[in-house]
Amino acid sequence: MEEKNRPLLGARFPEVEVQTTHGKLKLPDAFAGKWFVFFSHPADFTPVCTTEFVAFQKRYEEFKRLNCELIGLSIDQVFSHIKWMEWIKEKLGVEIQFPVIADDTGRVAYMLGIIHPGKGTNTVRAVFIVDPQGTIRAVLYYPQELGRNMDEILRMVRGLQISDEKKVAMPANWPNNELIGDRVIIPPATDVKEAKKRFELYECYDWWFCHKKLE
């Protein structure tokens, strides 16, 4: 099967109907008006993936408070997903409440470019953060041997939402930046007059690097 171009930042998430553990869903319409995190895992009944699913579920309420849903995918069949979910609940005491796509034909995986030939025939650990308009805002790829940091994914959703609402940018390691702490960065000035006025309105290292407290 020939791989299509991978979706890029700013592109609309591809329209596709999928079979999940919660029944059939049409993406991205199923989450219209909400953010969602679409993530793929290499396979059911594997140790790293199990830790990831537990970690996502432990933070599911935090994601929902951000008006953000979760949906997983692997190229396993739906009965495998269901059995794995049962195992996680029985052995680990965690009930997975978000849907998981059964992409046993690999159709969706190839559409999204998340099977990387150099890393085998399973899906890599990909993450797509999608906004309420169905636009892809962030894409992350992790190798099979490295589990994801779910707190970073939460941070990204929060940061993107604040950026959209306040028209600001987030510094490195926000909200614990080494220079400005939890403050946010003002977009660059577009003319000389605005650049000079920046020093009156904000705290600045220079006209191109001004920051403020998040209100």
Beta-sheet strands, E only, within the chain: 16-20, 23-27, 35-40, 68-74, 100-102, 125-130, 136-142, 184-185, 203-206, 209-212
Alpha-carbon span 132 to 18, nearest angstrom: 19
Alpha-carbon span 47 to 52, nearest angstrom: 9
Q: Which two tokens stand for residue 109?
A: 């995986």
> What amino acid is encoded at 68 in this protein?
C
Close Cβ partners of 95 (under 8 Å, ≥ 6 residues apart): 57, 85, 88, 89
Close Cβ partners of 96 (under 8 Å, ≥ 6 residues apart): 53, 57, 85, 88, 89
Q: Tell me whether residue 49 is one of the annotated catalytic residues.
A: yes
Dihedral sign computed on CA atoms, order 135, 137, 139, 140:
negative
Contact 109, 38 (CB under 8 A): no
The neighbour count for residue 67, using CB atoms within 10 Å, is 14
Catalytic center residues = 49
